[in-house]
Every structure is written in C-alpha cells, then in structure tokens.
Amino acid sequence: MRAKAELWQAGNGGQDMAGESHPVLEARGIVKIFGQHRALDGVDFAVRPGEVHALLGENGAGKSTLIKILTGAYQPDGGEIVLDGAPVRFTDPLNAQGSGIGTVYQEVNLLPNRSVAENLFLGRQPTRFGLVQRHAIVTQATALMATYGLDIDVRAELGSYSVAVQQIVAIARAVELSGKVLVLDEPTASLDRNEVEKLFEVIAKLKARGLGIIFITHFLDQVFAVADRVTILRNGQLIGTRDLSTLTATEVVRMMLGKDLAYGHSSLPVAEAAKGPVKVTFTGLGRADRVAPFTLSLHEGEVVGVAGLLGSGRTEMARLMFGVDTADEGDITVAGKPVKIRNPAQAVMAGFGFCPEDRKLDGIFGELSVRENIIIALQAKLGWFRALQRDEQDEIAGRYADDLDIRAANHDMPVKLLSGGNQQKVILARWLANDPTFLILDEPTRGIDVGAHAEIVRTINRLREEGLALLVISSELDEVVAYSNRVVVMRDRQMVAELHGADITPAVIVAAIADNTLTPEPVT
Amino acid sequence: MKRQALTSALLRPQFAALAAVLFINWLLFPGFFTITWQDGRLFGSLIDVLNRGAPVAILAIGVTAVIATKGVDLSVGAVMAISGAVAAVMVSTGTPASIAIPVALLAGLVCGFWNGVLVTYLDIQPIIATLVLMVAGRGLAQLITEGSIVTFSDPLLSYIGTGALLGLPMPVVIALVLMIVTTLAVRRTALGLLIEAVGVNRSAARFAGISSRLLLLMVYSFAGFCAAIAGLIVAGDIRGADANNAGLWLELDAILAVVLGGTSLLGGRFSIPMSVVGALIIQAMNTGILISGFSPQFNLVVKSAVIILILVLQSPQAGQWISRRFTPLTPPPKRSAE
C-alpha cells in the first residue's frame, strides 16, 4: 500500500500539461504531532494559480489539520510552507489572510445583523476625513456583488439572505482581502442543489481570475464537477495528488478507504440463510434535513453493515433509528408491533442500544466509575425507584466486564482512566446489560488499539450467534465484510444499495459508494 | 468494613476544616463549647452555630443537586424573601398559619419550577436563567409586602423560627430532618446516580436513555422548595417579612457551602451531608469572628482567607501531596467485600 501511495505521488508531475505553472501555495513535508499522535506525517500539498484543488479524506485523515496549518491556525512541527516560491511562516490566521490566503467555512462567520455592504467592507471602510462614506460603500459593494453575478440590495441585512448568498458574500470578502488562495471548507454542506450550482459558477469565475482554490467536501460528485486535481489523505499520510481527468470515482474512494479492487473476498462471507425472523423494521424513516426516507428490516441473529463516506448519511440514519434526532416520517416496528421512538429513552424502552461514534462526547461518563457506566442504561430503564443495589451493580458490572474482558484495576475507578478500547467495551457492556434486541454500533473500532479491535469484532460475531440484530457502521471495509450478513450503502444522504452474499466484497462496496455500475442494486 | 468507611469519611478535609475553625473559636472564646440546659432547651455557642447555620444549610441541600447537574441557582435568596412575604402577609391578614405555610412552600416550588423550565425547555444557561428570578424575585416579594416590613404574631409561624423540639432549636431540627430525608431520597433511589450522570455528561445521559429534562425540572423545583423552607425560618425568627433583606446574598453562601462540601461546579459527584458541613464551616467562622470581639469589618476578609485555604487543601494536588507524606505504604483494598 505504501509503495503504491508513493507511486501515485510521483505520478503527478508528468501528466498535467500545465504542470510547469508554479504553485502559488505549497506545503512540503508537513508534520503535525498532537501528544503521541501524528496527525500529519510528511504531507506535501500544492495549489496552482487558476486551479480548483480538492482535498479529500475520511474523519481523522488530517484534512482540517492541514488546512489549519496552511491558514496559520496551527504551527507545523516539521516541513515548510512556500508562498509564491518563498518560504513563509504564518503566525496566525490574520497573518495568513494578509499574505493572500482567505478561508470560508461551512458556517458563515460574518455579522448577520449588519448589511451586506458593511460585511464586505468591515475593517476597511472607505473614509474621508475619518468618516465612513456610506454611499461609497454601497456603490462599491453593489459593483462587487455584480462581478459575482449577484444582483442584490447590499443595504439589506446579511442574515435576510439565503445561506448560499451569505456564502458568496463571505467568499467575496475573503477574495478581496486575500486574493491569492481561497480555502473553501465544506462550503456546500448546507446548500441545496440550485445553490450549489450558483456557488460553482462563482468558483469558475474565481478560477478564471487566477486564484488557487482549495475545495474541501464530502461529496464526490461535486469534486468531479468542479475540481481539477485532488489530493487524498488517510490517517495523516499523503496517499496521492492526481489529475481528476485521469481518475474514476471508484479509484478515489479506493484511495480514501485504502482498499484495492484486487482485494476480493477477505474471508468467508457470512451465510445469510442463518438468520432468524424479523426483529425490527424501519419503514420509510426519514428526516428532510438529515437523511432521505429508507426502509430496512433486521432479522434475529443478523449483522447489517453500513458503508458510506463521511457525511453520506450513515450516522444520521442511526441517530434517526435511535430517536436522537426525531424522524419527520416513517414507522418503526419491533417484533411486528409498531413503536413510537421520538427520543433515546423510548428507544431504550423498545430494546434498542446505541454505541455512538464519539465515545467521549456521547458515550462515556468520565468521572463516574466503570461499574456505574455499565449499569447506567439499565438503571435508566428501570426508573428512579427501582434502584439497583450495590451488590446487584457489582454483579452486573463484574459479569459483563469479564465477558468482554474489560481491563480495569477495579470497577470503582473512574472510567476516564481506561484506554479507548476498554471505554468502548464499557459502553458495549452497558447495552448488553440492558438485554437489547437491536444494537447499533457506530464506528465501534475507531481509534482503539489492535487487541481491543479484534475483541470487538469477535464480540459482534458472538452477539449475532446469540440472536441479536445488529447494525454496524464502519469505514473499515475489511471489517464490514468480515461480519456482515448484508451491507447497505449510503451516499448523498440516501440508502443507495443493498448487497447480499457474494456481492459483499470491498470492491463491490467501493463501487457502490462511488456510484459505479459494477453491481447496481438500487433499493426501493 | 463499615467502621473503615466511617473513619475515612471523618478524615475528609471538610471535617478537619470544621474542627480547626471550632478549635480557633475555642481559643478566642474559652466558653465556646459550653452547653447549658435552660427552659427545656439547649443553649451555647455551638448550638448557636447550628441554629444560625440552618438557613444556609437548608439552601445548600437544595442547591447541591442543582450544582451536581452542572447548573447553579442564584435565586434561592430571593425565593426566601418571596416565601417569607407570602406567609407573613397571609397570617397578618388572618389566614391560619396551617394554610399560609403550605402556600408559601408551594410558592417556592413554583419559583424553582420556573427556573427549571427556563433551563430545560428554553435552554437558557442556569446562571442567567436563575439570575432573572434573583432580581425579579426580590421585586416580587416587595410587591407582595407592598414595600413595607410585614410583622405578625402568629405562634405557629414564629415557632418555626424560634421554637425548640427535643431541646434543639426548630431550625436545626428542620435542617437535620431535611438533610436525612433528602440524602435517603437520592441515595436509596436511583436519583443520585442519574443526577450525577446528567451533570457529568448530559449528551451521554441522553444516549443512555435518561430523561434529563424531568430530572432537571425536579432538581430546580426542589431547590426552590428548600429556599421556601429557609424563608419561613428567617421570617419566623424575626416575626416579620423583610422583602429587601431576607436571604440577601445567602445564595452565595449556599453555593460556597456546596463547593466547600466537595461538589464541583462542573457537576457530577455530590454529597448532601457534606454540603451541610460546608454551611456549618461558614457559620462557625461567622460566629467565631462575632464572639471573638474583633470588629465585624474583619468578618468578610477573614472569611475569604479561610475559604481560600480550605479550597486549596481540598484540591487534588494537595490531596496527593498529603497522601504521599502521611500514608503508610500499603495498597488500598482492591474491592469492598460488603
């Protein structure tokens, strides 16, 4: 894999005809270390004038760290940044902005209660005798907006316009202030299709003006629609920088997830026939701003894997199922009986469990003991007055801690002192203690050590044999293939495919994620 | 095992601090520990500390649970004024105290419920949400008393502030009973654990299926209820309701008592009896400075110095330092075998 990555890197020089145009901004061998973790490990990155350069990678790949270094928010621990051929050091984002690098974030950070014109000229208002020339601002702002193809009243409050317009105002401001490089950090995440089109027109104009544009997104189709080149990171490593005209979507996904098409079956596919009767059914469950309606049934003793890129709607789907977000539409039945799930408490009552993606934020009670962390969901289910006595707590905690091999000096120590893998097992134990019928695991093996990793995969298989219905979301395709009876694929907040039996291979999953027609099997 | 738990509880820095303050009081005033029996009740400086400390202790009992949820309640002083005003106005216009007292307690409960609604349903930060009632509540109390100090001579209401039961002043009895009942209520049920869970990580609590809204509503309501009890005691003590001064700044003493008792303002672990000990430390200092003959101006400065000292002693760093120096090299028992 490493050898291949280097090959990709080496390949970028020869294939671009404009290859000799010098990069406007370049990062060479950037290293960034947080504690013991190498967030970036010798990453090279270069954006040329007049190109749109997409930056891709899954969670934790190092995209945002790289951007923060390029825009002066972080200082690199190694490597150098080169602007217009000369090494530079950005002390802070303002400094980088002054040097020509403007950034626009997904959340527009301008002043919504001031006018568009004021937002455009804030901090550099044209003045005469020390007084702001309001009229001049309005004229100039109107002219500026016209160059972006926007005919709007610049005297109106920024907040009265759509997010798309606000985003374009933010871009205009960044370009006016900086003018060499524009970083767009997930600019389309909260836009609808027409708005995205509009934004792309603006990007095309800026590209024609010779700006270097760095474009970060989770939407592959947008990358192909607007970008010229792409740089892909994975786990802090540079996987490659390539010309998009030479790439297919499948290749991009493969580079992001680290899967080779020649990989084939990694293990025996799990027999689908082994499963029992239907346990839970979600019919047309959806929520307008999160995930399109989907239908999915899970059987007793079945593991359904969920694959998809970050932002594809995989976590959103799980949150809807568990009532963390309330669904707009759709029905849920458990063992044939309809249930209402409008909050997690109701989901717990219905026999659901959910190990969330962000352990620290949504899972762990750091100050509470291992024992309390294990019994807490059961206690919440039992209610206020049926308190578990100390000996019952000890018995339950002891049983599940042994069962999952949780390594803790004792069960009264705060759970925050345990390793990530053991914390994950504690959350798993919490749900198992609740005797669930349906368990959702969102990235259960992320950020944990190899031993605990194998343990959790083994546990998933064991729980299936014990008759649980499991939904497992994971970016690790090897894993998904190893334990899934079925795999559903998410893309663009929709469930786009359901894979069975022999189709459950990394190659087919990658193709489905990338919208390739290797084995199309659309659902509903 | 039980005895070991008791000794380790008594070795907490709060008890050491309380003992130290009492000891200094004794140095300053040799008659400090003298307790006499007169007219069917106990008298003495120590009893005084308990009696005068009761209102803050009662406030602290309510505020403890609020702080454990990572919240805070600044309005309890104002709620004291409201409950005192309601009771005083009602009895002075001829309503029997047996009706006035429950109504005043209900008023406190409603005030707390209001705070809870602001915090849980409108998602206002607790410090701001309760600041509203801290300011408005005192105004409300003044409206109820129509701006004057309402006095009364109702025997039952003044008994709450000045009476005695089994030789102990009534406020002490009330605080003691409230402490025991509340502690049992949170520790014999799952409430204590659930409150701590919400305080440690509200998002994780939601994912674990805990209905934190209901819990928060209850906790804030209870703080209002406790404040109403303290308000009745203060009103009964002076046989009148002073909307301007009843409970003034006591919310700060109550928060301090909770923090001295070892509950973190970041939420999580809490202990109601320890908060009461915290309230007693504060009152012991107040009483000590008064009886020592120092001018009362010293009171606030000395108090703050002592508080800083106690908080430093309670910090984990100090704890580690002390345990490194003073513990024999035997590992702690692995798990309690009760």
Look-up: residue for tokens 């659930």?
Answer: B194
Question: B216 at the A interface (CB within 8 A)?
Answer: no
Q: Residue A311 is encoded by which pair of tokens?
A: 């932002």
Distance (Å) from the C-alpha of residue A396 to the closest C-alpha of chain B?
15
pLDDT: which is higher, A410 or B74 = B74
Q: What is the pTM of this model?
A: 0.71
In chain A, ranges of CATH 3.40.50.300 domains: 1-100+213-256, 277-351+436-524
The residue in chain A having the minimum alpha-carbon distance to the alpha carbon of residue B200 is: A365
pLDDT tens digits for range B115-146: 999 999 998 999 999 999 999 999 999 999 88
Whether B173 shows a pLDDT value over 80: the answer reads yes
> How many angstroms from the chain centroid is the CA of residue A271?
31
Q: How far apart are CA B149 and CA B81, in angstroms?
A: 11
Q: What is the pLDDT of residue A420?
A: 77
Sign (positive/negative) of CA torsion A156, A161, A165, A168?
positive
> In sequence order, what DSSP letters do the residues of B71-105 get, joined into one string?
---S-HHHHHHHHHHHHHHHHHTT--HHHHHHHHH
Question: B193 at the A interface (CB within 8 A)?
Answer: yes
Contact A365 B205 (CB under 8 A): yes
% of residues, chain A, pLDDT over 90: 22
Question: B211 at the A interface (CB within 8 A)?
Answer: yes
Q: How far apart are CA A321 and CA A286, in angstroms?
A: 9
Write out chain A residues lying below 8 Å of B193, CB-based. Answer: 368, 372, 376, 379, 387
Which are the contacts of B254, defined by CB distance < 8 A and separation ≥ 6?
B56, B59, B60, B62, B63, B76, B77, B279
Q: What is the pLDDT of residue A310?
A: 75
Whether B67 shows a pLDDT value over 70: the answer reads yes
Contact B193 A379 (CB under 8 A): yes
Query: What mean pLDDT comes out for the span A144-148?
Result: 85
CATH hierarchy code of domain A277-351+436-524: 3.40.50.300
Q: What is the pLDDT of residue A480?
A: 86
As for the ipTM of the complex, it is 0.81
Whether B333 shows a pLDDT value over 70: the answer reads no
| Phi-psi region at A418: left, alpha or beta (left = phi > 0; alpha = psi -120 to 50) | beta
Q: Residue B327 is encoded by which pair of tokens?
A: 């513990």
Question: B39 at the A interface (CB within 8 A)?
Answer: no
How many CB atoms are located within 10 Å of the residue A15 CB?
12
pLDDT tens digits for range A216-246: 887 787 888 889 999 998 878 888 898 888 8
Distance (Å) from the C-alpha of residue B196 to the closest C-alpha of chain A?
8
Do A453 and A421 meet the contact criterion of CB atoms below 8 Å apart? yes
Q: What is the pLDDT of residue B335?
A: 46
Contact B196 A387 (CB under 8 A): no
Do A433 and A396 meet the contact criterion of CB atoms below 8 Å apart? yes
Do A499 and A513 meet the contact criterion of CB atoms below 8 Å apart? no
Write out chain A residues lying below 8 Å of B205, CB-based. Answer: 365
Query: In this structure, what are the phi and psi dihedrals at residue A470, rounded to the nearest 5 degrees?
Result: -125, 140
Q: State the DSSP code for A362.
A: I
A interface test, pick of B2, B193, B203 with most A CB neighbours within 10 Å: B193
Write out chain B residues lying below 8 Å of A365, CB-based. Answer: 196-197, 200-201, 204-205
Look-up: residue for tokens 């193709």?
Answer: A511
Contact B194 A391 (CB under 8 A): no
**CATH number among 3.30.70, 2.60.120, 1.10.3470, 1.20.58, domain B41-318:** 1.10.3470
> How many angstroms from the chain centroid is the CA of residue B25?
22
Write out chain A residues lying below 8 Å of B2, CB-based. Answer: none
Q: Which of B189, B207, B268 sits opposite A384 (nearest CB)?
A: B189
Query: What are the sequence ranges of the domains in chain B?
Result: 41-318
Angle at B64 between CA B62 and CA B65, to 5 degrees: 80
Q: How far apart are CA A103 and CA A184, in angstroms?
A: 6
Angle at A498 between CA A494 and CA A502, to 5 degrees: 150
Question: B333 at the A interface (CB within 8 A)?
Answer: no
Contact B194 A388 (CB under 8 A): no
Question: A405 at the B interface (CB within 8 A)?
Answer: no
Contact A390 B338 (CB under 8 A): yes
CATH hierarchy code of domain A1-100+213-256: 3.40.50.300
Q: Which of A344, A385, A391 sits opposite B207 (nearest CB)?
A: A344
Distance (Å) from the C-alpha of residue A229 to the closest C-alpha of chain B?
40
Q: How far apart are CA B61 and CA B180, in angstroms?
A: 10
Question: A382 at the B interface (CB within 8 A)?
Answer: yes
The residue in chain A having the minimum alpha-carbon distance to the alpha carbon of residue B192 is: A384
Type of residue numbered B262: G
